[in-house]
Chains A and B, each alone.
Chain A
Amino acid sequence: MKNTVRVERAIKDITQQDLAVAVGVSRQTINSIEAARYVPSTVLALKIARYFGKSVDDIFTLEEGD
């Protein structure tokens, strides 16, 4: 699953730590999501999307094979 978390973060000019605190996870988790090493739960995906004021579909998109 691809995501645009890094891009959205850059647009909003916030650090991984800022986002991590806002959605209640560790910085490692945000880093792993951005690097596509970890697929977040629905709850976390919704929290991230809400934080950026977008829908989940705008930030997370399925890849072929998902």
Chain B
Amino acid sequence: MKKSYLLPVGFKKAGLWMVVPFLVLSALCLCGSDVLVDICINATVPAVISHEGWFCMTETALIEEIAMLGLLASLAFIALSREQDEDEMTAHIRMQSFVWSTWATSIVLALGILFVYDLEFLTFMFLTMYLYLMLYIVKFNLAMYRERKEQR
């Protein structure tokens, strides 16, 4: 039996529900919005590496970790859940979309390395982390939509 690394169908719906709030929260964190000051809880957490060195304790704003993890989880849920009618053609479209998204992200990354500098580069890298999954989701769903439209 072939092993599937995809999540059950229901995770896609869960991801869709989660993505908007976490996208907004991440955007607010990224902009350094004042709205977050009230809910910002600083905590001391274990770190593999930080400005204090390797394997130490460091202080961080928990809301940022929650926003980033939430956004990553919701995008992964959407991208990596089975379709209702998942079969070998869907797997083929997935593979094509992954290749396309890898190329597109690499090109954006290369342009960023060449043209984005200073602290803005950190913001750019933050966005690029999620770009790969976002582009994959858009490309895959567009391809599936076209395929389903052909049937009508």
Contact = CB atoms under 8 A, between A and B. Distances in A.
A28 B88 CA distance: 11
A32 B88 contact: no
A22 interface: no
Interface in A21-66: 24-29, 31-32, 35, 37-38, 40-41, 44
B61 to A, nearest CB: 46
A37 B92 CA distance: 12
B4 interface: no
Contacts of A32: 89, 147, 150
B150 A31 contact: yes
Interface string B52-96: 000000000000000000000000000000000101111010000
A44 B87 CA distance: 11
Contacts of B89: 25-26, 28-29, 32, 38
Interface residues of A, number: 14
A48 to B, nearest CB: 12
Contacts of B147: 28, 32
Contacts of A27: 85, 151
Nearest to A31: B151
Nearest to B87: A25
B51 interface: no
Given A26-B87, A32-B89, A35-B150, 18 more contacts: A24-B87, A25-B88, A25-B89, A27-B85, A28-B85, A28-B148, A28-B150, A28-B151, A29-B87, A29-B88, A31-B150, A31-B151, A32-B150, A38-B89, A38-B92, A40-B88, A41-B88, A44-B88
